[in-house]
Amino acid sequence: MTEHAMRAEKLAAELDSAFRNRADLYRLMLDELAAELGDAKAEEVLVRAIEKRGREVAQVAFASFGPNDARAIGEAFLAVSPDGGRMYPTDVERSDHHIAFKVKRCPLKDAWVEAGVGDDRLATLCRIAGAFDRGLFEATGVRFENVTWTPGHGSGCCHICLTDCDI
């Protein structure tokens, strides 16, 4: 293996670890906030903060797009998917006025499962993490639908659909 290939492999592992660390922070923040505020209020607070961060990212990442650029927004999102899309592999469905993707693997969900999080808490954490996507995509004005993982949902993760506002 070349030095370049070894460095790329090391960086990919470090990136995956950083995302897993993010997952651990979400899990621990939820636990601490729930102990202080109760489950519902803890989820509400985290969703609000994470959705706000999604909107902040959208202001930079999607500033040149509008409410009828769903497909272009989705393509831009996929183009910057970490590690060339390997971190969040997706099945993608495209049409002229919409794009939908089913995320087949999520390092956040993987970390929660490995930490022994039960199905109900896992579903809650997926909803919380999905708030980032809601903030990110709703800030553009496109129609956004997201189905986050729940028990019985299968092995994958969230399903996201973006549609032009005028459709």
* pLDDT tens per residue across span 8-48: 899 989 999 999 999 999 999 999 999 999 999 999 999 99
Does the domain made of 3-163 have the CATH classification 1.10.287?
no
Which is nearest to 26 in space by CA: 100, 128, 148, 99?
128
pLDDT, tens digit, for every residue of 44-103?
A: 999 999 999 999 999 999 999 999 999 999 999 999 998 888 889 999 999 999 999 999
**Residue indicated by tokens 């993010």:** 22
Residue 121 amino acid letter: R
86 vs 36, 79, 81, CA distance in Å?
37, 11, 8
For the chain, what are the domain ranges? 3-163
